[in-house]
Structure 1
Amino acid sequence: MSSLVAYEDSESEDDCLGQTEAVTPASIQTGSCGPNQEVRVCNSSEIIPSPHSFTPDPDRSVLDSHGHVLERSRSLLHPHSQPVSCFDRQSKYCRGGKAQEKHLRDTAAPLGLPETQGKISPFQTLPPTPQGFGDGLNPAKRNHTVRSGVRPYIPKRQRLATSVETVDPNYPAEQVPGNLTRESQILSDVSARIKPYLAHKPGSSGIPRKLLMTLGGHQGPVNTVQWCPVPHLSHLLLSASMDKTFKVWDGAESGRCLRVYTCHSGAVRDACWTPCGRHLLSGSFDNMAVITDVETGQQVVKLDNQFKVMCVAPHPSNPEIFLCGGHSSAVKAWDSRSCKVVKVYKAGIQQTLDILFLRDGVDFITSSDCVSRDSADRTLIAWDYQTTAKVSNQIYQERFTCPSLALHPLEESFVAQTNGDYMAVFSSQQPYRMNKRRRYEGHKVEGYSVQCEFSLDGTILASGSSTGSAHFYDYHNARILHTLRAHSQPCLCVSQHPVLPATAATCDWAGEIKVWH
């Protein structure tokens, strides 16, 4: 019988257990006895079990397992002494019991896990003991720091929440991957400039006279700009360009580009908001008509018309239906749910320039470039939507094409922009007679697709000009109210804000967009 007990690694231990730190005999000797004392064993057959070969009870925690090993070791070393737990606060052998107990709990149960995951199963390895149990004799040796290579587990929800909060708000939204940033939620924010006008009934429209901001970013001519028709989202401004993209801007406050949509391989000739304000309808020279989700930028529907699309128009009472016209003698009506053509309107024309639905979508007007030497009997054609029959093709008799149409918001009338450098007004009820006593003159068209638009109350009619100016007319007496020197290139569109008074957006052939107030 020897005075000291020597231990050797068991050959039957697991490989994973062999890499963990366990309670060594040296730590037991220095922790339980004085430096000059010897450990004697009464019977050589009573050997302290090796900590490596110890199998914990599945219902006990790692703390109970370590305590059981140490308590049995002390009982063998001091057979006449009463067993004392090493984690007892009053123990004279282990003065740092509570601190080590807390450290072992933190090591056994990773950060962010439930308490039930801190239990150890019979098939799991014992966690390494960070310090010898004898370190409690010297408080200066106690070190409860976590190893540098160990990283606490962080739940996925907490990681996502942290990533949202750490995003720089000044970073462009279109360059931030994913949809986690606050800038990506462009339909959930209400502009502080729009909010005061939402609770009140809109008053009379005014005339914009000063430049508010300039929006640059398109590399080609901007064909159209349009404010969102939903009042609380009316700070969003849509622009469609010949550079194959269309964009959504914050046109009320920051002037920042909120989203760029690149779903076309050709020039985007026309784009508009759907009545709900959550989707965009666009037509391009790549023969495609696309419905795009404003928030995510994903294509909801993409349809091939087999001709270059010049104009698109959603049905006012059935938003799933929209019309497409362009370099074809026919106008197609698509159903976005089935992605099929539901109606075809055929006419002996070369191309359709614009489409305008009349009240309730029962009838609609198409504008074409079919002009003969003697008359223009098919320049404007009225169609019955349900039967696809021509209601009238004798609406406009002068030999000028009409690049754009606009419906009055209150009265039963509409206007047509003509290449005769004037706008003509028509009745929106059969037989769609033209008012020959009222013309809106003073601007130039000169072959450009210059658009016109009414204010929300219908008192002001605005039009662009090939000279780069924006013209505002009094609708009732056809008098020019103001001429705005907006651009150096031809001004193609003037869009008046539906909520803010005396606010309008203009675009030109050089790709520049300006907001006026």
Structure 2
Amino acid sequence: MASLVAYDDSDSDAEPEPLEGLSAAGQVKDACGAVTEGTPEPIKHRLGAPGSLWEGVATHRLPLLPLGRSDQRACPSQRLQWPRKEPAVTCPPREPPCPALWTSHTPTGHVPLAAACFKEPKRSWEACYRPEPAFCTQGKSEVTERNGSSSLKRRQDCVIPYTPKRLRVSAAKGTDTGAGSGVEPQDPSLGCALGPAQSRLAPRVSESIRPHLDSPYQETKVPRNVRFHLQGHGGPVNCVQWCPVLAHSHLLLSASMDKTLKVWDAVDLGRCLRTYTLHTEAVRAARWSPCGQRILSGGFDFTLHLTDLETGTPVFRGQSDFRITTLKFHPKDHNLCVCGGFSSEIKAWDFRIGKVVRGYKAAVQQTLDILFLQEGSEFLSSTDASSRDSADRTIIAWDFRTSAKISNQIFHERYTCPSLTLHPREPVFLAQTNGNYLALFSAVWPYRMCRRRRYEGHKVEGYSVGCECSPDGDLLMTGSADGRILLYGFRTASWARTLQGHTQACVGVTFHPVLPSVLASCSWDGDVKVWH
């Protein structure tokens, strides 16, 4: 029975002629005519070989037709349609001669001839990927290797999209919680509340401060008038501090019992620039970092926060076992801080490891204030011990490295000392007492008290009233429980001037570090005033 399928070679008994360059046994002839054994290489990989008729022809455009037994006798020119020979592309004179396409391991059909002569510039890894901050543990990228090549993966769930400033300003103006309602709009991308004008805290130099930066500090002058009356806190303000960086000392930090921290432009604008709401309870103490880029704060929520000034992001967060009422940076090692509060122990934290590295324990119930001496090798602590036998616990001198007590027989009167301050030029310090006077002590062992000089006239009455010396050391300033601000001559201990500033207790006062006639004060009524 005849087959119904007809093959192409069924009507031809003649043997097909091998193609040029191929032997009958499947051997390959090279350019010199030598015969090599092996399987024939596909035509598209041999058309551009050196010595062939189509050397240099771009083979990625070459169409190939299926070869059958019936058309093998036809002329190769009739079976293949060759494109025109393209002009040779020369490499730039500065570049080394480029290798031919057939010497590359990459198939020529994927690389144009002109592009093969030029090397693609190698991209810098840093330009394509910027590492996340160290405190953002959830946003770290992961690099995985697959088939010998590394690929970058990002977790999209923790990346906060950037909101343009124009949209943030328009959103702040359109919200109901504007300046009229007393609540400042929140910016979720920053984690803090911004002022109505969305002012940035980018480093700049105030025009009022610039003329005083290159000249030495002049004589401190007693201010007379209130230049700015800063309102915005919803509770008593516990402390105020100017930025320690002189070029940025137009910034004023305030901590309040309304659970917030605020940064003000208290020299040029007289308004709030940024509000930080990191604590869940009252903020009792806050300090600028010595570099002026971070804020350290502690409060009644048992937490210690180190916050980035510009972004409002918490760089460090420590959980304490007591309510924090006072804290200070170490004057030499800024990665260390000491904090105390409603506990018999003072703790030293290291931000690099996030742990307590030292403890200083005494038979007291509360630490009121801390003051570093001798460039950080020693520090003083004032406590609430006021009984008859409390002479060894009211003011204690500690060795910072060994946690040992250096002296505990410093203040022998039955008054507590809510605040301490160091003189900027002489080795002495002052202690605010609940006896309504300021006591003067030596800042070196054995820390003797000067009984012939005493600064009286103000009232404390159980408030944590602060005191401070002027940058030149000639004036001493203190608040008062009746709202007054009193200034004394340091050497004469005589009254210099009284400022009627607040309606309730004035608990914080500070001189400006650059401007000779500017000071700031805060009170229990929630107001901050800048005097000039």
- Provide the C-alpha distance between the structure 1 equivalents of 2:420 and 2:168, rounded to a whole number of angstroms: 48
The match for 1:354 among 369, 373, 378 is 369
- Provide the C-alpha distance between the structure 2 equivalents of 1:466 and 1:331, rounded to a whole number of angstroms: 28
CA-CA distance at 1:175 after TM superposition? 4.9
CA-CA distance at 1:165 after TM superposition? 11
The match for 1:442 among 457, 467, 470 is 457
CA-CA distance at 1:214 after TM superposition? 0.4
* 2:48 aligned partner: none
- Call closer, same or farther: CA 1:289–1:176 in 2, change over 3 Å: closer
- Call closer, same or farther: CA 1:166–1:345 in 2, change over 3 Å: closer
CA contact (8 A) 2:391 2:408 kept: no
- Call closer, same or farther: CA 1:161–1:271 in 2, change over 3 Å: closer
The match for 1:481 among 496, 510, 521 is 496
* 1:332 aligned partner: 347
CA-CA distance at 1:377 after TM superposition? 2.3
CA-CA distance at 1:253 after TM superposition? 1.3
1:487 maps to amino acid: H
1:465 and 2:480 matched = yes
Question: Any idea what SS the aligned residue of 2:441 has?
Answer: strand
Question: Any idea what SS the aligned residue of 1:232 has?
Answer: helix
2:344 maps to amino acid: S
The match for 1:273 among 279, 288, 302 is 288
CA-CA distance at 1:188 after TM superposition? 1.4
1:204 maps to amino acid: E
CA contact (8 A) 1:461 1:472 kept: yes
CA contact (8 A) 1:187 1:233 kept: no
The match for 2:508 among 488, 493, 501 is 493
CA-CA distance at 1:187 after TM superposition? 3.7
- Provide the C-alpha distance between the structure 2 equivalents of 1:345 and 1:375, rounded to a whole number of angstroms: 18
Q: Normalising by the residue count of structure 1, what TM-score does the alignment of the two structures yield?
A: 0.67
Give the length in aligned residue pairs.
362
CA contact (8 A) 1:371 1:377 kept: no
How do 1:292-303 and structure 2 match up within 5 A?
A: 292-303=307-318
CA contact (8 A) 1:383 1:391 kept: yes
1:239 and 2:254 matched = yes
Q: Normalising by the residue count of structure 2, what TM-score does the alignment of the two structures yield?
A: 0.65
* 1:506 aligned partner: 521
Q: Which moved more, 1:184-193 or 1:396-405?
A: 184-193
* 2:239 aligned partner: 224
1:205 and 2:229 matched = no
* 2:407 aligned partner: 392
1:287 and 2:302 matched = yes
The match for 1:414 among 429, 435, 445 is 429
2:457 maps to amino acid: G
**Structure 1 unmatched runs, 5+:** 1-57, 60-159
The match for 1:363 among 371, 378, 381 is 378
- Call closer, same or farther: CA 1:177–1:256 in 2, change over 3 Å: farther
CA contact (8 A) 1:270 1:311 kept: yes
- Call closer, same or farther: CA 1:162–1:277 in 2, change over 3 Å: closer
- Provide the C-alpha distance between the structure 2 equivalents of 1:425 and 1:501, rounded to a whole number of angstroms: 24
CA-CA distance at 1:185 after TM superposition? 3.3
* 1:252 aligned partner: 267
- Call closer, same or farther: CA 1:161–1:175 in 2, change over 3 Å: closer
CA contact (8 A) 2:212 2:515 kept: yes
- Provide the C-alpha distance between the structure 1 equivalents of 2:168 and 2:440, rounded to a whole number of angstroms: 55
CA-CA distance at 1:163 after TM superposition? 5.5
* 2:205 aligned partner: 190
CA-CA distance at 1:255 after TM superposition? 1.2
- Call closer, same or farther: CA 1:481–1:286 in 2, change over 3 Å: same
- Provide the C-alpha distance between the structure 1 equivalents of 2:421 and 2:243, rounded to a whole number of angstroms: 17
CA contact (8 A) 1:174 1:260 kept: no
CA-CA distance at 1:194 after TM superposition? 1.2
Q: Which moved more, 1:371-380 or 1:176-185?
A: 176-185
CA contact (8 A) 1:278 1:295 kept: yes
Deviations for 1:357-387, whole angstroms, at most 9, x for unmatched residues?
0131010000001121255321000000001
CA contact (8 A) 2:466 2:507 kept: yes
The match for 1:427 among 442, 446, 450 is 442
- Call closer, same or farther: CA 1:174–1:412 in 2, change over 3 Å: farther
* 1:40 aligned partner: none
Question: Any idea what SS the aligned residue of 2:247 has?
Answer: helix
- Provide the C-alpha distance between the structure 1 equivalents of 2:290 and 2:266, rounded to a whole number of angstroms: 19
Question: Any idea what SS the aligned residue of 1:218 has?
Answer: coil
Question: Any idea what SS the aligned residue of 2:318 has?
Answer: strand
The match for 2:360 among 305, 320, 345 is 345
- Provide the C-alpha distance between the structure 2 equivalents of 1:510 and 1:161, rounded to a whole number of angstroms: 37
- Provide the C-alpha distance between the structure 1 equivalents of 2:391 and 2:332, rounded to a whole number of angstroms: 31
Structure 1 segments, 4+ long, off by >3 Å, are: 160-168, 170-185
The match for 2:278 among 263, 266, 273 is 263
- Provide the C-alpha distance between the structure 2 equivalents of 1:506 and 1:359, rounded to a whole number of angstroms: 28
- Provide the C-alpha distance between the structure 2 equivalents of 1:435 and 1:330, rounded to a whole number of angstroms: 29
More helix by share: 1
